[in-house]
Structure 1
Amino acid sequence: MSFSDLGVAKWLCEALNSMKIYTPTAIQKACIPKVLKGHDCIGGAKTGSGKTIAFASPILTKWSEDPYGIYGLVLTPTRELALQIAEQFAALGATMNIKVCVIVGGDDIVKQALELQRRPHIVIATPGRLADHILNSGEDTICGLRRVKYLVLDEADRLLSNSFGSDLERCFGVLPKPENRQTLLFTATITDAVRSLKEKPVPEGKLPVFVNEVDTVENIAIPSTLSIKYLFVPSYVKEAYLHNLLTLPEYEKTTTIIFVNRTHTAELLRRMLRKLDFRVASLHSEMPQSERVNSLHRFKANAARILIATDVASRGLDIPDVNLVVNYDIPADPDDFIHRVGRTARAGRKGDSISIVAEKDVNRILAIEERINKKMEKMEDVTDNKVIKKSLKETSVAKREAMMDMDKDGFGEKRRTNKMKRQDASKKPNKKRKTES
């Protein structure tokens, strides 16, 4: 079966062929024809299964028949995912001069407002920054959103969590009503919140919601090529055990992602490991956008061997082969663990996952083991004696210096200021939408 057989426009089939994409994946075969027929869609498939093309190709096919204003809006939880999706839309629509606009935090908000006023064909945005424009940038900026034909929620399970609730509500408030647009949800984890959308009443004249699940997190096992181990350590010396792990002969040259739960931890480890002469980059929400892009590029180019990241890097990103994933902090949600370790042992290759477990993490580990139906093995190569002898003193010094540097640089001040601004903004009454007399 070809993309042409699915109903994709001829010009777009040629663009896909030029990108060496010839055969549709399972999620693409299932969803593209349904979207082209006008169905709302919930598509579930694992990372790397072609979800972006599953929603981009029908949108671009329909757009090319009637290219007006802001035709499609894609909402996604992270800046990196937004940029990656934008690159794919731009590449697919290059021969048709498609205009793609990215609206994410960290970039010039005035420049973004001007781009929105020029009515790009496709807007890819994070909910927080788009909500800022809706609240502050005026009707001239956002009026193009009122005629959107397609709304896509990428990584929908994350977007429909409580953390994005108020921003999503503000974004939805300026879009056409559900019966006047198509809504497409794509995710690697179809949660109850996502699945419940199918149960909503279908407006008169609207086709029923199409749901397709292909190898979602719910029904995939951890690959047999992935080794899953743990280190049980005292919480106050986690850095020393991490250092000892990274200097083991089998890992001293590997590409590694270290996942943490907080931006402060990511920045502390980046500074500390850099002082210990590791080639390291980081990725978290308190970095300027240019630095986030540079970090990702450095890691992809192997200029940095280690990437320290919050969960902004756990999903969807096109990250190169990774040999080792370290859970420095244990995630509260077992599905986040699956997404994290899914960065390695891809396409049949081998990979290692090591979780650094402190006293308070035991219940989380038990929940993860139940979720993946597999027991973690204890790692024997890092011992208390080795840590005391080789790592404890130098990591203590490096950590202390890193913390002093962070205090000196005022790390976290911008985040606290922005949080206060957003709290003040949320207390303002919503501006009433102007109507023509």
Structure 2
Amino acid sequence: MDFDMLGLQPRLVAKLAEQGITEPTPIQKKAIPHAMNGRDVMGLAQTGTGKTAAFGLPMIHALMSLGVAPAPKSVNGLILAPTRELANQIAENLRAYTQGTHLKVNIVVGGASINPQINRLHRGTDLLVATPGRLIDLLEQKAVRLDQTRFLVLDEADQMLDMGFIHALRRIAPLLPKDRQTMLFSATMPKLMAELAANYLTDPIRVEAAPPGKPADKVRQGLIFVEQSAKAELLIEKLDAHRNELALVFARTKHGAEKLMKTLDRAGFAVGSIHGNKSQGQRDRALAAFKAGELRVLVATDVAARGLDIPDVRHVYNFDLPNVPENYVHRIGRTARAGRDGSAVTFCAPAEMSELRAIEKTMGRPIPVLAGTSWAPERAGASDRMDKGPRRGPGGNPAKAAKPSRKRRPRNRTRERQAA
């Protein structure tokens, strides 16, 4: 099957062919026909499988057929995304699909000046990609109206739930027409997703291209049991083995990401960082330098776990395990993209055993152990200051003694929402 068999406009199919996109992915084959028939769609597929085109192409097809310019401040199609990076990636793809057409694609996200966004919205928008917080700011300033919006897309809806955006959605959804078409796409299906679908979708068709929580097949996964205090030295050793290849390193907190970036910089790596404390300009510049190869290592929090489509990323390191097990799948999905191979190595300290068990339960299988031995029950979940002596891995090398660690602060979801 190719795109013209899906019924898309020949002009749109030709535009895809110019970009080398000729054969739909499984999620696109399953979702596009239903979306073009006007059905509400709930799509499940692992990261990197083409979900943006699955919801974007039917909307573009419909708006090209309509041929009517949007009224001032109005929006024909609204796509909500949980993070700035994902919103930027979606907008970039939609602009590529609509190049040469009359359709206008706009993006509004936090961390950027609001006045230019207000000016662009005044002329009307065919497809608007937005993070919920900034969209609410614009709605409160009466810079945008949603009463003529024909399409609503919730992308990475599971992350929206985790970041607390359900409250923003409850404020935004009533402003849209009831007879709109709504599409929800996600890589995982937590229990709350059914409630979300029931409240905002009408008789949706569920399409699924891969089991929720399943990582990309070409990602070589590995697990190393290591003391928290020894992680930085181990990471430097691993990165030093492939200095000319792009590597993405995930840390749990904004402070931890920045501290690790400075450690790697002192070790001589071309490294940058992105996290919620960075302005949008700083994040955009770091990503651009990473894509161009000017930076070889990028340290990030989970703001980069979704929405980064950089085919040249060969290595992902989980310096810290994520609190949300589904984010592990999204993190390692940043490599092995566009049919390429990639590796994902995870460091696990004693205090992270519960996170590891949750990740392996979500995937339905264990992560292969590369080095070290699983932490004993009396160590699991305990801080490093309770160390009772080194544990030896297959090579006989003892893990380094740990330094006293501070108790982690609980997650602040309000700050997470503001950072997005």
Distance 1:171 1:199 in 2: 16
Indicate yes or no: 2:78 matched with 1:73.
yes
Aligned to 1:4: 4
Displacement of 1:350: 4.4
Aligned to 1:106: 111
Indicate yes or no: 2:181 matched with 1:182.
yes
Indicate yes or no: 2:226 matched with 1:232.
yes
- Residue 217 of structure 1, aligned match among 212, 215, 238: 212
Distance 2:339 2:309 in 1: 17
Aligned to 2:235: 242
Q: Is the 8 A contact 1:283 1:307 kept in 2?
A: yes
Distance 1:348 1:107 in 2: 34
Aligned to 1:357: 348
Indicate yes or no: 2:342 matched with 1:337.
no
Aligned to 2:138: 133
Distance 2:343 2:93 in 1: 30
Displacement of 1:35: 1.2
> For the aligned residues, what is the CA RMSD?
2.8
Q: Is the 8 A contact 1:323 1:352 kept in 2?
A: yes
Q: Which digits, 9 at most, give the CA deviation of each residue in 1:239-285, with x for residues without a partner?
A: 334334433xx344442111011111111112222122211011212
Distance 1:383 1:165 in 2: 49
After TM superposition, the structure 1 stretch with the greater mean CA deviation from structure 2, 364-373 or 295-304, is 364-373
Aligned to 2:287: 296
> Mapping of 1:343-382 within 5 angstroms?
343-346=334-337, 349-372=340-363, 373-379=365-371
Aligned to 1:285: 276
Q: 1:2 to 1:252 in 2, by over 3 A?
A: closer
Partner amino acid, structure 1, of 2:57 = S
Indicate yes or no: 2:319 matched with 1:320.
no
Q: Is the 8 A contact 1:225 1:345 kept in 2?
A: yes
Q: Is the 8 A contact 2:215 2:333 kept in 1?
A: no
* Alignment gaps of 5+ in structure 1: 393-415, 423-437
- Residue 142 of structure 1, aligned match among 141, 144, 148: 144
> Mapping of 1:407-426 within 5 angstroms?
none
* Alignment gaps of 5+ in structure 2: 372-392, 403-411
Q: 1:276 to 1:27 in 2, by over 3 A?
A: same
Q: Is the 8 A contact 2:78 2:129 kept in 1?
A: yes
Structure 2 residue matching 1:287: 3-state secondary structure: coil
Partner amino acid, structure 2, of 1:240 = E
Q: TM-score, normalised by structure 2?
A: 0.82
Partner amino acid, structure 1, of 2:136 = A
Partner amino acid, structure 1, of 2:182 = T
Q: Is the 8 A contact 1:131 1:168 kept in 2?
A: no
Displacement of 1:174: 2.2
Indicate yes or no: 2:11 matched with 1:15.
no
Structure 1 stretches of 4+ moved >6 Å: 381-388
Aligned to 2:88: 83
Higher RCO (C-alpha 8 Å, min separation 6): 2
Distance 1:46 1:201 in 2: 22
Distance 1:375 1:11 in 2: 45
- Kindly indicate which of the two structures has a greater share of residues assigned to helix: 1
Q: Is the 8 A contact 1:244 1:386 kept in 2?
A: no
Distance 2:191 2:287 in 1: 32
Q: 1:288 to 1:28 in 2, by over 3 A?
A: same
Structure 2 residue matching 1:5: 3-state secondary structure: helix
Displacement of 1:90: 1.6
Q: Is the 8 A contact 1:146 1:175 kept in 2?
A: yes
- How many residues align structurally? 380
Q: Is the 8 A contact 2:43 2:207 kept in 1?
A: yes
